């Protein structure tokens, strides 16, 4: 089950078989049924979650719009609430699975011990955080510089898997548009 995780890590840092075994001792593999929660608002986030199979969303509630999705994750993606994880304060977000999902969790309370045992994993997580920060900055830029239609086409071009697997209203929430707007864009494409 952890082969995908090991392969993902190796894209960024070397990892020997012995180090794989050490890492495996710190990772728990879990399953969650569709609509289950990895994290609910008000809970403290306990770990980093690597999706082995399935799909998740991270969102928060707003009075004006209801749910505002700010992150999706599918196979070979990480998802967590970094603010809650690092501050150990209650989360203001939810992480919910959209399909039956299998995931690996690295709990925060053993992370430093693991990094001491396998130092290159600290580098790996730094690289992953840098990539996440870059993606967040690009997303903010696109929100302010692209039209809603350009954002849809950009996202669907980069991540066609999400467009197929995520309900239209959730995709609309992530892109900051209405589901009706996405229907119009898709109808234009068919003509």
Report the distance separating Cα 69 and Cα 87, nearest Å. Answer: 22
189 CA to centre of own chain: 28
Using an 8 Å Cβ cutoff, are 96 and 187 in contact?
no
Using 70 as the pLDDT threshold, list the residues of the chain that sit under it.
189-191
pLDDT at 53: 96
| Strand stretches in 63-168, DSSP E | 66-74, 78-79, 94-97, 101-107
pLDDT at 190: 61
Percent helix, strand and coil across the chain, each to the nearest 5: 50, 25, 25
Spatial CA neighbour of 149 closest among 100, 186, 105, 95: 186
Report the distance separating Cα 48 and Cα 92, nearest Å. Answer: 16
Listed by start position, the domains of the chain span 3-145, 146-191
**What CATH number does the domain located at 3-145 have?**
2.60.120.10
CA-to-CA separations, 34 to 45, 88, 127, 161, 175, in angstroms, rounded: 20, 27, 30, 18, 23
Report the distance separating Cα 104 and Cα 106, nearest Å. Answer: 7
User: CB under 8 Å to 113, separation ≥6 — which residues?
Assistant: 26
CA-to-CA separations, 100 to 55, 75, 177, in angstroms, rounded: 8, 12, 27
């Amino acid at each position: 089950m952890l082969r995908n995780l090991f392969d993902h890590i190796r894209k960024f840092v070397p990892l020997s078989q012995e180090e794989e075994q050490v890492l495996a001792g710190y990772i728990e593999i879990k399953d969650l049924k569709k609509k289950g929660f990895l994290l609910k608002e008000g809970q403290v986030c306990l770990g980093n979650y690597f999706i082995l199979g399935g799909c998740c969303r991270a969102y928060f509630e707003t009075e004006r719009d209801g749910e505002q999705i700010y992150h999706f994750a599918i196979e070979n993606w990480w998802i967590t609430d970094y603010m809650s994880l690092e501050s150990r304060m209650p989360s203001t977000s939810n992480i919910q699975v959209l399909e039956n999902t299998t995931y690996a969790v690295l709990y925060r309370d053993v992370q430093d011990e693991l990094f001491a045992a396998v130092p290159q994993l600290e580098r790996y997580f730094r690289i992953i955080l840098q990539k996440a920060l870059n993606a967040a900055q690009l997303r903010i830029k696109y929100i302010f510089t692209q039209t809603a239609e350009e954002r849809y086409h950009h996202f669907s071009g980069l991540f066609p898997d999400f467009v197929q697997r995520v309900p239209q209203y959730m995709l609309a929430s992530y892109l900051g548009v209405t589901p009706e707007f996405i229907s119009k864009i898709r109808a234009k494409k068919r003509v």
